[in-house]
Structure 1
Amino acid sequence: MPDSPAAEIVEKVGGPGNIESLTHCATRLRFQLRDGDLVDQSGIESLPGVMGAVPQAGDRFQVVIGGGVQTVYNEIMALPTMTGDEEGDVDDAAAIKARERAKGPRGKVAWLDTLFEFLSDSFRPILGALLGASLFITFMALMATLGVIPSWNAPGVVLEPSWAFINLMWQCVFIFLPLMVAYNASQKIGADPWVGFAIMAVVMLPGFMALGQDATAQQIVFLGSDITTVPVFGIPLTIFDYSSQVFPPLLMAAVLGPLWKGLKKIIPTNLHLIFVPFLAMLIMIPLTAFLIGPIGVYAGAGLANLLSSINDFSPFIFAIIIPLAYPFMVPLGLHWPINAIMLLNIQTLGYDFIQGPMGAWNFACFGATAAVLVLAWRERDQAMKQTATGALAAGLLGGISEPSLYGIHLRFKRIYPRMLVGCFVGGLIIGIGGGVRTEAFVFTSLLTIPAFQPLALYGIAVAAAFITSMTLVLIFGYKPKPTAEEAAAVGDSGTVAAPTAGSGAPAAATAGAAVGGAATATAVRPTTATATADAGNAPNVGAALQIMSPLDGRAVPLSDVPDPVFAGGTMGPGVAIEPSGDTVYAPGAGTVAAAQPTGHAFGLVLDGGIELLIHVGIDTVNLKGEGFDVKVHNGDRIEVGTPLVTFDRAVIEKAGYPLITPVIVLNADQFDAVDPIELGPTTAGAPLLSVETKAAD
């Protein structure tokens, strides 16, 4: 049996022979493994000091430690089995790889991971616009249902100008969706996003569609579809309406990326600004119009027809399969192509049949989250209350399942079987009722229920899915059953005491190490006179303390952070800041517990006992200090306004890393509540978080 946490981690990732390389950031151990199937994830997550585990594609695996990551990393690297001083049973690397190849695809293939990241990042930035548009659509559907307006999207219906204008409020998003996707996908692939935008814009111009009215245009049948072609320099150009299409811009960007990089290699640097965009457009505009665009249209139509055929064959089975499959599709990113097909269904069929059954999954997911929230209130689990409240609000109001999935359900595997029962019940009701349709792309939330028909059938189905999941999780719980040691630690409240984040190390130190790439600055300011405490002493119980903003920018919920560990509250509660400036300041007096040499993260211990982590950007540790000018060192005393780090926004943005900066309270379990004071615009030194000390017993 291993005699140290470090040795246990090594053993549970498959032993030293399964570790190809190991690095760390401010909060996580980052393993590159030879065989990801050898990992005992549940065993790792049960170890004291481990805050979570995140499997990734390409046999990459992350272990979330927090502030003590440097110590654990050093202990692992010092193990005799890691240094080669001790012999062990190590599988031959070639044998491991051969065994892996024999297993076939497992969803952990590097190129597949890259593909889904590409799809995800092409859509994620426009989710807000899609969500806003979906609420306009729901409003129009509700008005039509109440008889205020005629069927707003039926062929030949003409709305009066007032309602027609409201209709334009959602059409602006979906008609120009290809341009938005082209911009995001081009940026993700490493090309100039505005060039990608311009390339896609050519086939969306009114003049492009007008070519189909030319006297030389011909009507032909291709793959069973009537299409219009017009000769351009003797080559037939296919005329499509590319509004709402998503597959053509995705394919265009996938080709533009390698071309862009190739042009930059062969063209002298001082000519990049002019000739790389020019040649890229010269090549890609005809290629997109003549080849890539039509291929994208037909590829999307083919996938849509396949799913439509399955639904036509058995709507009952389809309505059950979709909600049962989605809990596994979303973590893999497989839902992004399905979203594209939903949009295509609406454009070609005039309705979509996938979103209704998908709603059963979403509401089963939200029901499980609601149960976790109730249990967290009973157990006085402040961190989980905050996580579940944010996730439930994002779900019921926005139809977004990721905060629930990443923040709760994938961390507590007992939830999944209960949630799947809810998915099945909701899908079963839709199947028995003959299916549900919607004539617009909407997010399946409480607010968009009126967009589905039959309305009563859909409402009953999602309510049943929600109640079933919630009831089962309330009855059976969501946490693993406590061990004998944990049972001995049950306090007067009857709840199991959670292990400390640092496994013996002060939470403050953990906060510092946990910071994996952000500058942190916080101030503790009592809001009442009785809360005042001398430096280094704990504040009076029951006082409300304030943490000040370390940055100029915009404060947003942690759920907006594009990283499940931060977004799910694994590290602790807090907020995130989208910075507008380039300097992180200390907003209060305290000590620097950990100043990462890469400058991307800082851990502070503030006077009054709050341990804070500020992480500048996401994955900025990969820059290895480039673009960061660190102003402080470990152990330094800081006061209000002390600069912690200055960062070069251009370097970070060029590398493609988000600048959003989480500000996390690492020892939140020592306080009664950690709540944002106000979201929205903020300046360095302005109140950011309120921390309520525990009242005296």
Structure 2
Amino acid sequence: MSPSTPKTGTLAEQILHTVGGARNIESVTHCATRLRFQLHDGEQVDEDALQALDGVMGTVRQSGDRLQIVIGGAVANVYSTLTNLPSMSGGATPRPQSDADVKAAFRSRSRGRYAWIDSLFEYLSDSFRPLMGVLLGSSLIIAIASVLDALDLVDFRASDKSATWVFVDAMWRSVLYFLPIMVAYNAARKLKVDPWVGAAVMASVMTPNFTGMSGLGSKIPGVSCSTNATLGTQECVARVFGLPMQLNDYGGQVFVPLLMAAVLALVYKGLRRLFPESVHLVFVPFFSMLVMIPVTAFLIGPLGVWAGNGLGTGLSWLNGNAPIVFAVIIPLLYPFLVPLGLHWPLNALMLQNINAIGYDFIQGPMGAWNFACFGATAGVLLLSLRHREREMRQTATGALAAGLLGGISEPALYGIHLRFKRIYSRMLVGCLTGGVIVGVLGGVSTKAFAFTSMLTIPVFSPMAGYLIAVTASFFISMLLVYFSDFRTPVERARVNAERDVAEGPTSVEEPPADNGEDVAADADAPWAATPASAEGRALAAPVAGRVVGLDKIEDPVFASRALGEGVGIEPADGHVVAPVDGQLVSVANTGHAFGIRTADGIEVLIHIGIDTVRMGGEGFDVAVEAGQMISAGDLLAEVDLDAVRAAEHSTVTLMTVTNTANLSSVEPHFGQDVAVGTPVVTVRR
């Protein structure tokens, strides 16, 4: 390794350094075994240092500043780590994708029937996901305060709290109050707009100058205030440039920055097309702010607040005229109100109810939503323990603690539920169940403004009815998520396969123990002669055809044995089967490559054709999924060899043992025409 190459850090970080950094990468993709880079300048690659990295099996230079780095079975994990490095967030300049690339990416993400719904969920999720750490931090501070309040050690809601507890309030309110600025930053970044412009626009309506106009009210010329009879809140209007501007407190609002960022993206990108690139830095942010700050203050901000206030007034009417319907609608509405921030005005309505009539009727049904949310999170936690997903386990644990102890749903919602839309339908069943129970029992009320957590259950009346409702909501959502999974079957197989690759051979299921019974072998099935033994394990031909040595292969990676010893087969047809019993640890999205690991740790790669990854899956009909157990002879794929030839790719099918270096010997047998299932490689441990 050269002195300039870091000796610490992940393999992905070291690779990024040796290829010239993020700014030298135009695009990066991967196939079954290799990272494929399109670089701006291939001369910046430190190839000697790259070859010396532990985990890199070899490199292949190609024309046009293209570079292949051979990783082997762990390539998906390395690729994921590489593309999620902070320096890669804005450094790479992707080239336009081909139709095949777009289709492959579309399939790999398992998108739903309506693309706009997926895009909306992604927009919401990516706007909040980076905030998970501070959201969890603030919510746990609330949880601690709630515990002390429940134990009567401090009155967390007293109006005359000491300076100490006022300061504690500031510790957690710092995140929730300034959440709109943080969301605006992330939302703008998601839409490929300068995120600081988005943050600045949202911050303009949260400055002391703006909020002070409401605080001083009629003391400022041009400002007039009135009181909302339903919500009990003060509403002020200022005359700015001769036009009426509604003054609102935007602290904690989420819908406003999400809508603002969407409009900002249109304005910002239009300005980039209007002005020459040489003056973008000066004029694009300037005119974006000049346009968007007034639009937000005059139109977008009030629109978000009006929507919330209108919702609060409507719910108040509904509870008075149809209380059972109200008890059902509240927990079904909240999962959609919270992501958009439209639930905040309801807090004012809850406080107004307590002040005006001495109790509140919203928080009881709302508890059914909260506990359904927490139950779904518990289901995710159980699945993450079952499938050994460390990152999801950590996220779910923190979110569940914040929910059950602090009554805060945002960490679970933004960190998990919006990322996996399958959860919502399961969670809504729990919401509905709890709401029906609250309605049938005649409603639930409280005389306090309480975070709906485990610690505040005693403040609701009747407590028994409330406890039954939230318990049912929790466990129904938990069980539905656990038994149906929060990932699709394809996503689950892929994630588990990537986990198995990362964990190594020990994660493969052990074969059934020998029970002493004799099993009759089919004389016509060559698979019966392929068990591991003192003489070695035989790997059978995955396709019929002519067997050739790797030296004859026109791909330098396979010819150099960087991916292990093995054979190539010029196929007689496109019927490709498994050469050995084992687990499919990887299946390329394009269907051209399969990774199999046997129970005793032999790792086999089946690679159909040379550079067929460029076909984007056209002509490949895959019959299996990553993660499943297979037997020798099981169909892997049907391949249209004519389509491969028409795309000017070699049809040779390769089978190599990628962990050859860890074995005693791998002996290929070539120079013969074979049928499917004929032994062509002998492996000895």
Question: How high is the TM-score relative to the length of structure 2?
Answer: 0.47
* Bigger Rg, structure 1 or 2: 2
